[in-house]
Amino acid sequence: MTKFKAWISAARLRTLPLSVSGIIVGSVLGHRETFQQTNDPTVLYDCVPKMFFETKIFLLAILTTLGLQILSNFANDYGDGVKGTDNEDRVGPQRALQSGAISRKEMFRGIVVTAIITLILAILLIYVSFGKEYFLYSVFFFLLGLGAIIAAIKYTMGNSAYGYRGLGDVFVFTFFGLVSVVGCYFLFTKNLNWLVFLPAVTIGFLSAAVLNLNNMRDHDSDKKAEKNTIVVKMGLTNAKKYHYFLVIGAMVAMLVFSFFTYEDYINLLFLIAFIPLLIHLSKVSKTKNAVNLDPELKKVALSTFLLAILFSLGQIF
């Protein structure tokens, strides 16, 4: 494997669609709210291309989130590699540090560079969104951005890595659900709407479900390495029940949002994404060996991305 391919592998490209799902949902809701205030129904449709291809807020939010996800992946590779968690007992794909394709020093340098680039993108996003007019908002989001970067690094790195204490789900739900959707909505509108928290919960729950699948798959190796994920703490049987709660709770939250905001049947386009999620739940219930859950990670991640796209289309048209 070449060095370039090793870095691409360490970035874990398959995780990226899931990470931007919240940005897509939050941006569409924020963009829709902004243009609905004009009371001209044709304006929203005419501005669709602008949102996805010209809006600086949307593009910078996407790039910042991708930076955070890649940073988290690098830090996870480094942290688990240094601690010896990624060893011969690990079930999933071999990691860059574990295989020796990237040295410890190189990975640490990559983490630092990615953190700096992500911070710069976050600052640009804040400036484009708030300018000089909303100084307090800028300060708050800057601190939020710093918190996200620190959280991405501290997931598995350091002696106090929270991923080893069963708190990874909290980080994922908070930053890839609530902060991603509600935060992006606020960047567009400069206000809050409690209804936006419902799709935020949906994306947060599904993101946590992907992590839960990962932790169920790695249950045995994590337990040996004393990585006390929430799955290790509660056991595989309860982890499955927790997984059902996350996926079903995500679907319920989106249905409740639709109940309060329904205008036309097209708003329910996202229901198509429920089909692979329900098939996934059936697969999980029938799977006895957690190792066999590995393919389900990709399915839930892509189903979440599909849900975000279909939901967004249903809100636009």
Percent of the chain scored above 90 by pLDDT?
Answer: 59
Terminal-residue alpha carbon distance, the chain = 46
Dist. CA 252–CA 198, nearest whole Å: 9
Domain count, the chain: 1
CB 56 within 8 A of CB 128: yes
DSSP 90: -
- Name 187's Cβ contacts closer than 8 Å, sequence gap at least 6: 26, 30, 57, 61, 125, 129, 141
Residue 2, burial from CB neighbour count under 10 angstroms (0-12, 13-18, 19+): exposed
pTM of this prediction?
0.90
| Pairwise CA distance, residues 36 & 38, whole Å | 5
- For residue 37, name the pLDDT band (cuts at 50, 70, 90): low
DSSP one-letter string for 35-81: HHTTT-HHHHHHTHHIIIII-HHHHHHHHHHHHHHHHHHHHHHHHHH
Angstrom distance (rounded) from CA 233 to CA 244? 17
SS3 27: helix
pLDDT tens digits, 68-84: 999 999 988 888 777 66
Least confident range from 47-56, 229-238, 242-251: namely 47-56
Say whether 183 sits in a helix, a strand or coil.
Answer: helix
Q: How many residues does the chain have?
A: 317
Q: CA distances (Å), 108 to each of 65, 154, 310, in order? A: 20, 13, 38
8 Å CB contact between 198 and 211:
no
* Domain of 31, in residue numbers: 3-316
The model's pLDDT over 136-176, given as tens digits with 9 standing for 90+, comes to: 999 999 999 999 999 999 988 877 788 888 889 999 999 99
